[in-house]
Chain A
């Protein structure tokens, strides 16, 4: 066991799903030619300085703050965070420094079977910077860099946690829960790999039992849940080695190098420690009405945690099922919708988590694009329940449903897949099979009861799997024991 306690705070940037930028009407669409989604305002051209706030971006930020249980500010204003960098068009970034959108919130995560609350210090709205491209192998050897300002001015929310996170695993769980929540409220697609969700971690250690914080490093450049986990793990090991050897952790920004699996210090003598934040006089304040906030609060869907709990309490699902089914709002909606037509929560859960997810994955589509309607899925399960088709046949039918969107019953009828439960027919087949396989019969009669399985298989083959398995067993046993 370690003699240190790990203290982690996360700063998460999330790109909002608006059509246009935060302060100008340039498109935010992904993948355009460089520097074609820019205008005098987001390029910071002389005299083109006046921002007009995007209503949708504001709405999304409020929703996010509400979903993270924050207190909401009553006035929206923007401050200038002043520094110089090639991707920053105006020499300052507009951000909510003095009056953040939300403060004092929390997210609950499940750690080791119990619920842990991670505090949200604040959530604020701000504008993104442009994108730098380095020629050559990397930023260090690159003789010059290229700048694309298409992303400059795209609305972001930054979520700053309290230093409540105690391990890389908790950090990963927090980020997953956060992503889940933000996707539920449909304000961001939260793709770490594409940069629409970016997480920096402040990591420090302190001796167990101490309540003073040690020096922290700020970890950047972690582009997946795995790299967040690995980067923090690495940094914790690095810092504990320094501390164990009696050294001091240098407070600095460190970049996670995914390929080499290490963090590296990045220092600049020009890095500013003083952003001189002050209100941007070009943006006149906006007063939030409690009406609007209430309306947005009412519009929030049931959030992942509440939904998980409901699935467990109301339907008695195991925690695992509840977690898988609520991993996206759409999947959970699908599950809930199916239950409106089916009385068997666990059966539906098994089928959704198993066959439905497998089919989606194979077809590379989302649940919203699935042709099997909840009602049709429920009907299929009913056919199994009534013994009209076997589970195995049902899987075939489901596959067919997923491509055609047809109802289960009509597929079963069209293809003649209904289960054969007629005893005379099956007995006739049993007699045939017994006659054709004397060795298995002999095995069975000499005590190897398992040999009956082969005979059952033969009947299934002859009926293309449609024979009622229980009935087949029964008549076979009767004939064999005659």
Chain B
């Protein structure tokens, strides 16, 4: 580590965080005293000979990840003063290994969708205030935020990181992911927070690979499948087409053998994910009823209290999404919409897996538009195509990674890889990072 004294480092982190917060409003919770206390504690532990492999690294958490005794608002009025009793499992693992939690950052309500404004975690990492951030990826939010803010992010395999303490909105899709500037940092952090937790059977069993030590390995050439119709994505803009088209040619020089491959189902993925995530959200967010925690509004009777509390505690955007979910899972549309989507999910998953037997990765832009403004313009609409390329990985539970095209004058789309495992993705990303930077 570059810093001898963690307390000194703590002060630097505080300074940087304050700057970025002043500049573009990143934090929901930030406590300089807490940072100083934590650093002191880490120092003491190190002095007592305890091993803290992540000491010296600092991070922020999107505010839909639980922190004991620290407000976890999920970006919603519903939870404006909610204080969890426990840390999320991933947060405990980071703290136990000496990583410093700098603060909780802005997030779109319950992590649904992503706007450039509220992607506080990506902003903090992009500005260099902290080394990395944890955020939730349900249909691609983590990767999209990273792409908008020009950093790297990994959405691991479903269940690679325990979800305990993660306040999600679509149980079968959401995973905790990591954002950082450097691929190496993604690898290091993943190593420490991945791994089965008995209290969370959806977390993956089996040994966690030592990702950092495997980074330099891998084949000399990677075989890449690019969906043949990638440029016909809904909402795709001209700069994205141009830049990504150029990247396809460039990549060949770096040992990425690219083939345009026809896909039959991939193109349904963002609508399929929209149906499924909306239905799951309708149910996953039904515990926000004003009884045990969260916002409560006055009412004459119980059912009215539910309606008033939920209607005033949630934004219009979220409400429309939840009603959409209730609608497409209602008796009349259950089979035609919801069940049909879950069946298409099977085909999408099989298609991806079949391709990944023959190719190392599936390669696309991360977002169909280069401009953060376009992204934000779509944000309020249910017809948002931002997840066009990202949602498939969530539907299939496969890992995916985005890395920025650096040294560019305009906003650039991130490069997006879907793979079979995290190790391969990190190896490929590292190779690209070396070539690009």
Contact = CB atoms under 8 A, between A and B. Distances in A.
Q: Do A and B contact each other directly (Cβ–Cβ < 8 Å)?
A: yes
Contacts of A268: 303
B291 interface: yes
Given A86-B291, A276-B330, A48 B202 contact: no
Interface in B155-178: 163-168, 171-172
B283 A91 contact: yes
Contact of B86 (A40, A49, A90, A270): A40
B338 A278 contact: yes
Contacts, number: 103
A82 B282 contact: yes
Interface in A136-157: 145, 147, 149
Contact of A91 (B168, B172, B289, B303): B289
A92 B66 CA distance: 22
Interface in A252-286: 268, 270, 274, 276, 278, 280-284
B163 A89 contact: no
A147 B283 contact: no
A216 interface: no
Given A278-B338, A281-B172, A46 B330 contact: no
A51 to B, nearest CB: 8
B88 A147 contact: no
Contacts of A149: 292
A46 B284 CA distance: 9
Interface stretch (B77-85, B121-129, B214-222, B240-248): B77-85
Contacts of B144: none
B326 interface: yes
B303 A46 contact: no
Contacts of A45: 84-85, 287, 292-293
Interface string A57-95: 000000000000000000000001010111001111000
A91 B287 contact: yes
A46 B82 contact: yes
A82 B286 CA distance: 8
Contacts of B303: 84, 268, 270
Interface residues of B, number: 47
Nearest to B200: A50
Interface string B60-98: 000011100000101000010010111010000000000
A46 B286 contact: no
A439 B88 CA distance: 99
B289 A50 contact: no
A363 interface: no
Contact of B329 (A40, A47, A278): A278
Contact of B283 (A52, A92, A145, A283): A92
B165 A47 contact: yes
Contacts of A457: none
Nearest to A91: B286
Contacts of B88: 47
Contacts of B331: 274, 276
B267 interface: no
Given A47-B88, A50-B163, 10 more contacts: A46-B74, A46-B294, A47-B64, A50-B199, A86-B302, A91-B285, A268-B303, A270-B303, A276-B329, A281-B202
12 contacts: A45-B292, A47-B72, A47-B163, A48-B165, A49-B284, A89-B291, A91-B283, A91-B285, A276-B282, A281-B202, A282-B202, A283-B201
Interface of B: 64-66, 72, 74, 79, 82, 84-86, 88, 163-168, 171-172, 198-202, 279-280, 282-289, 291-294, 302-303, 306, 326, 329-331, 334, 338
